[in-house]
Every structure is written in structure tokens, then in C-alpha cells.
Structure 1
Amino acid sequence: MKMKAVVMTEIGAPLRIEEVELAEPKANEVLVKIEATGVCHSDLNALHDETTPIPTILGHEGSGIVVEVGPNVKNVKIGDKVALSWVPFCGTCEFCQTGQVNLCESAFGPMFEGTLLDGTTRLSLNGEKVYHNSLLSTFAEYTVVPEMSCVKLPDEMPFAQASLIGCGVATGYGAAVKAAKVTPGSTVAIFGIGGVGVNAIQGARIAGASKIIACDLKEQNLEIAKTFGATHTVNVGEGNVVEMLKELTGGFGVHFAIDCSGNTNAASTAWQATRKGGTTVVVGAFNPKRELTLPANGFHRVGKNLKGSFYGDVHPFLDFPIIAELYLDGKFKLDELVLSRIQLEDINKAFDSFHNQCCVNVGRTVIEFGGK
């Protein structure tokens, strides 16, 4: 079938609207009509990443309607409303068998190669191969994805809000609820109040934390953090952050610190601000050229846990529906994360906004295709 899609044709160049050919789904694949897709900073990173295969269709935060399924598909049917997960899992490896589906290796080779799970693509332009992004490629009217990328959501769930669940929302929520395992009455510090950090705040609130401290350089972000559940804020550019956090927690430090910033200095600060016996979770992606440095003195005596978390340790088929139900029950803010709604033709304006330091970055621009 022919469809309209946004195609990346050069590293860092403006994206182009093209008429692309999409092949039908194979046995374990699903054809989804995209109704909404978020524009994530990771898409900008992919646009400027020299390892991104070209040409490719970007986009990895999507929701839509199932319109065709392969003969082996069992989890969804035609007409289902779905949110898409960019980490499909095999269900049979050691990680999957122990419930750590976010660590399944099946998706990563194809993800880096720009293919689907079988090593081939379903996309072409003028007879030439076009690559997939994160096995989803949601900047298009339709997409073919693995069955294990399709998570059924309630019919009442609006598409724009549903599209955001598959990346930043699930990662932040999971970092607090699944990775850190925040407990009722505990104290939590969140470093980096962006699209992930604000949802870590929501996760900590839902888990029952008594004190949630938002830590960031931007006063605007700190004010926004309060509307999502932060009880206190700390501007990390205005003093000794560790001492400020200890002062807010009776001199002990926080029970849980979650670094969503991707900054190694912030992660080190988060560790130092965590009390004895507490847990520090790092969910932000570091620059691979940087090193994380922690104080060695007395390391063995403090009994603290340091944990890296990929995708917030979520299980998409369990946690996406929970987040959707929390939203529908008025307990999880998603409306406020939809910063603006645009058409596919305005995609480059959304990318340009990432370079504007004055723009609010606690949320997403969402591309809509006409659904509700």
C-alpha cells in the first residue's frame, strides 16, 4: 500500500514528506493505522546520529488502530486501539522467563540495523529500501510492527495521550514504581525534570511517597514539577545539592534518588544524596565518552543500592494498561503532557523547537492524523 510518511534522507537535514510503499505484515506482525505520535528528543538524536541508516522513517511514540494482522498474531485483533512499544520481546529467553522483558536482546540487533525482527524491512521508496526506526517508524500514516509491540488499551483512551505512554511516560513511571520500588511514606529526589522526570514524579506520588523533591536547573521546570506532585524543589545551580537534600530529610538523605538527566555529575550527586540503605536509580542515558565517578571512601559501609534501569523496568503488556487506567481514573496526568498538536507536514517545526531554550520541554508535541 502507498502512504504518506516523513523520510530522513540525510544526517541532520530537514525531513521530507514522501509517498512511501508499505508491504503487508508477515506472520507475527501487525499493520497499524497511526492516529497520533509524539515527537521525542530521541528522534532529534537519531536525526543527527551518523549510525542511523538512511533513508529511514523516524518516530517511536505512537498509538493507533489495528487494521490487519498476520496469521500467527494472538494478542490483538482488527479494530483494537493500541499503544506501541519500541522494545518488543521474545518471551522465551532467560530474561523474559524471569520477568525482565525490558532486557530481552531480540530487538536490539534489528533496531540498530533499521529492520524488523526478521532482519528485513516493509518500507520502500521508488523501489529502494527504506529503514525502520526503533521497529516502529510512527512518523507515517501506517506502520507494520511486531505483534509484541502492540499493547491493547481501553477504547476510552484518547490517541494523543495514548501515544505518549510508550516511551517517556512509561520510563519515568517505571523508574519510580518498578525500578526504585518507591515505598509509601518515603522521601524521593528526582533529578532532571523533563519528559521522563516529570513522570517519575507521578510514579513516586502514586507509590505513596511523602516527600518528592524535584531537582533541576530551570525554574520553569521546577514550577511545572509541583503541578505533577513534587512537594519540594531544589535548583541544582544554587548551592550544595547534597546538603540541601539532607536538610529536607532530617539530615539523612532521601530514601530513593532517580536520575533522569543523563548527566554523570547529576547521577553522582543523586548517589551522595541517598541515605544509608537507600536506592539510587539511573534511567537517563549517559554520553558513552563520560565516566560515572562515586566516592570510594566507606562505600561498603553505607549499604546503598545503585541500579541502572532501561525502559523503567516496565513490562509493556502489564504496565501500559495500568497507566491508561490511572489516567482514565484521574490519577495520572497526561493531558498536560500534550504541549501542542500538529499535522505531519509541520514535523520540521517540531524538531526546530528542540533548539529553542525557552520552549517548555516537559511534554511532547504530538502529530495527529485525524482520530480522537
Structure 2
Amino acid sequence: MQEVRGVVARGKGAPVEVTSVLVPDPGPGEAVVSVRACGVCHTDLHYREGGISDDFPFLLGHEAAGVVESVGSGVTDVAPGDFVVLNWRAVCGACRACLRGRPWYCFNTHNAAQAMTLADGTPLTPALGIGAFADKTLVHAGQCTKVDPAARPAVAGLLGCGVMAGIGAAVNTGHVGRGDSVAVIGCGGVGDGAVAGARLAGAARIIAVDTDPRKLEWARGLGATHTVNAGETDPVEAIRELTGGFGADVVIDAVGRPETYRQAFYARDLAGTVVLVGVPTPEMTLELPLLDVFGRGGALTSSWYGDCLPSRDFPLLIDLYLQGRLDLDAFVSEQIPLDDVEAAFGRMHAGDVLRSVVIL
């Protein structure tokens, strides 16, 4: 058992606090990871606001990279000293999705069996089974993906959630190909990841849509060929105009609201693809004319975590970063200490940053 510092949300809407966290020694199949960096993601704010569950207190943080400190019995894929990116979909290898060769849909992903606790023994719920706003965290060993240690922890950790979700939405789910036209609605961390993914895939035209001029500039820096300010013009008409009147081959909704989904639906070409990667809230509903769904053809699909397979995708993307072909550095707006997480939530909510990254 070790005592470390961690960022804890004790109640709905209450400011987070840095407090003592007890981390057990790893049991069978588990690993203790010394966290080097962890991105501040909207999902952590959703946890604090009670939007994920009411299993308070939460140990926040999940978009992380670090070094394996110790492992429990039966662990063979990682060892102490390995530089790893943490993931929240450690595939089981035995469920119906895994057995059908689709492990990115795994229905039985692994987390650590033991609980980290507050100093008084109160069990903590780790965000997405990770809890990495802490000096050290306990995870299932399958949540550790070994990558090249030459990568900066501040950028490597971003693959643990938002950037991977965006890149995967374009590459894995949307199957963007060379010469395709792509529109991305919403240019935060996930949307800009989709822009970067479309660029990697060789899209000829990448149209970034947002209402914030700052976010549109970030998207252009990551590979958008055109930008549309949806606060000033109809994005559906603008996307059609930029694609010869037809609409984009792939439209990615990185916002996850009924109005943005409708825009994505009508901004795609006939037989085009809509990818929903922005996460809706439970009360949201959508109504579309069924004849339009039938008549426009194509595919309407959702992207869970960018349909990624961490063991395949994380090392590949880190290699592309080290080759200078994927500018992960552009996603890091600021590096902050652990004590600045609450203030970083405010900057993120205001749209002042693409990603704040906690350095430990």
C-alpha cells in the first residue's frame, strides 16, 4: 500500500480537491503505474457534475501516460520500467465481440479488482477505471499499452481518450480514404483529432465546422483545408458548396447534439457516412424523416473510443508522431500542476484551451 496525492470529486458540482489516496499493491493481473502526465478531458468534468454516475467520491483523470512501477502475478505483457499509455478498454479476448474478431467492441473490458481509497478507507471510483490525476494509480495490466519512450508523456497520454477517439472516428469508423471529402462538426480535442485523422488518411478536402474562431484556427493548423463558422452561415449549405453541391463523403459529429447530428445527416453526399463520436446526454432525442434515411442511403454509425484497439493503434500513432507525421504537440495548450485541475476545468469550459495537461 502506498499513499499518494490525487484529485478527488467528493460530490456533485463541488470543486475538486487534492488529497491523500491509498494505492494497493497490485494483485493478480494488475499494475501500479507512476503517472507522468494526464490530460484534462471533458469526461472528467462530467464525472464531477454527476453526469456519468453518482458513485462519488471519484478519483478523476484518465487520459494518461506513465511508467509501470510494479505488476501482480500473471502479468506478462508489461513489466516494471515500461513506458505506457493507459486505456479504458482493456479487451477480454473471450466475449462474443472478441471471439468474432472485433475486439474494439469488447463487451467485458477489464479494470483493476482492488479499490483505491481515501485515507479513511472510503473506496474511490476511478474515472473510466483509471483515476490518473494522481502520482500513481492502480489499473488492470491490460489497460497499459507499451509505446516508444521517446515520446513526451504530455502528448502520449492524449491518445488515452480524446485524440484517439477523434482519429479513430475518421480512420477506423468512418473509413476515410485517399481523395475523400470530410467535414468535422465541433473542433475541440475530439474534433481536431478527427481532422488530424482525416489528414493522415489522405482526405483531399477537410472542412472544419465550429462557432468559435479560435477552434477553427486550431483545426486549420491540424490539417483542415477549409473552415466554416456555424454562427455566421448555414453549415449544411457551406459544406455542400465546398463539395461541388453534393455534400461530404464522411461527416463526423464531434458535438453530439440533435441539431449537429441533423446537420451532419444532411451535409453528407448520397451514400455518404455519418459518424457520431460526440457523446449525447440521456434526455436528447432525434427525429428524422424515415424516407430521407432510406433515400440518402449510406451509413449512420457511432464511434466508441474511435473503435480503437489500443495494442494496435497506440504504438502506431506514437511512431507517426515521432516521424513528424502526426502533430500531437499541437493539442497541448498548457502544462499545469496537479493543484490546477479545478481552474483548468474552467478554462476548458470557456474554450480557452484545446488541452490542459497535468505534469507529475
Short-chain TM bin: over 0.9
Q: 2:286 aligns with which of 292, 300, 304?
A: 292
Q: 1:241 to 1:131 in 2, by over 3 A?
A: closer
Equivalent residue, structure 2, for 1:222? 216
CA contact (8 A) 1:38 1:367 kept: yes
C-alpha distance in 1 between matches for 2:291 and 2:258: 19
* TM-superposition CA deviations, 1:119-159 (whole Å, max 9, x none): x4133422332232211100111011011110001021111
Residue 70 (structure 2) pairs with residue 76 (structure 1): no
Residue 238 (structure 2) pairs with residue 238 (structure 1): no
Residue 62 (structure 2) pairs with residue 66 (structure 1): no
CA contact (8 A) 1:3 1:141 kept: yes
C-alpha distance in 2 between matches for 1:204 and 1:354: 24
Q: 1:305 aligns with which of 293, 299, 302?
A: 299
Q: 2:355 aligns with which of 355, 359, 364?
A: 364
- More displaced, 48-57 or 265-274? 48-57
1:76 to partner: Cα distance: 0.6
CA contact (8 A) 2:10 2:57 kept: yes
Equivalent residue, structure 1, for 2:320? 326
Task: Give 3-state SS (helix, strand or coil) of 1:6's partner.
Answer: strand
Q: 1:252 aligns with which of 243, 246, 253?
A: 246
1:21 to partner: Cα distance: 1.5
CA contact (8 A) 1:213 1:231 kept: yes
Report matched runs for 1:134-153 at 5 Å: 134-153=128-147
CA contact (8 A) 1:226 1:232 kept: yes
C-alpha distance in 1 between matches for 2:112 and 2:95: 15
C-alpha distance in 2 between matches for 1:324 and 1:71: 29
1:195 to partner: Cα distance: 0.4
Q: Aligned AA for 1:282?
A: L
Residue 41 (structure 2) pairs with residue 40 (structure 1): yes
Q: Aligned AA for 1:280?
A: V
Task: Give 3-state SS (helix, strand or coil) of 2:123's partner.
Answer: strand
- More displaced, 18-27 or 173-182? 18-27
Q: Aligned AA for 2:355?
A: R
C-alpha distance in 2 between matches for 1:356 and 1:295: 35
Task: Give 3-state SS (helix, strand or coil) of 2:317's partner.
Answer: helix
1:83 to partner: Cα distance: 0.3
Task: Give 3-state SS (helix, strand or coil) of 2:278's partner.
Answer: coil
Give 5+ residue unaligned stretches, structure 1.
111-115
C-alpha distance in 2 between matches for 1:124 and 1:20: 5
Q: Aligned AA for 2:273?
A: T
Equivalent residue, structure 2, for 1:113? none
* TM-superposition CA deviations, 1:45-77 (whole Å, max 9, x none): 110116332222111111100010111111111
C-alpha distance in 2 between matches for 1:324 and 1:14: 34
Report matched runs for 1:1-372 at 5 Å: 1-49=2-50, 51-107=53-109, 116-118=111-113, 120-357=114-351, 359-360=352-353, 363-369=354-360
1:189 to partner: Cα distance: 0.5
- More displaced, 296-305 or 274-283? 296-305
CA contact (8 A) 1:106 1:117 kept: no
Task: Give 3-state SS (helix, strand or coil) of 1:256's partner.
Answer: strand
Give 5+ residue unaligned stretches, structure 2.
none
C-alpha distance in 1 between matches for 2:253 and 2:143: 27
C-alpha distance in 2 between matches for 1:351 and 1:298: 40
Q: 1:56 to 1:242 in 2, by over 3 A?
A: closer
CA contact (8 A) 2:222 2:330 kept: no
Q: 1:15 to 1:235 in 2, by over 3 A?
A: same
Identity, % of aligned pairs?
39
Q: Aligned AA for 1:221?
A: K
CA contact (8 A) 1:160 1:338 kept: yes
TM-score, structure 1 as length reference: 0.92
1:117 to partner: Cα distance: 4.8
C-alpha distance in 2 between matches for 1:196 and 1:302: 27
C-alpha distance in 2 between matches for 1:315 and 1:266: 27
C-alpha distance in 1 between matches for 2:345 and 2:334: 13
TM-score, structure 2 as length reference: 0.95
CA contact (8 A) 1:123 1:132 kept: no
CA contact (8 A) 2:206 2:225 kept: yes
Q: 1:346 to 1:239 in 2, by over 3 A?
A: closer
Q: 1:260 to 1:99 in 2, by over 3 A?
A: farther
Q: 1:195 to 1:129 in 2, by over 3 A?
A: same
* TM-superposition CA deviations, 1:143-176 (whole Å, max 9, x none): 1101111000102111111111110111000000
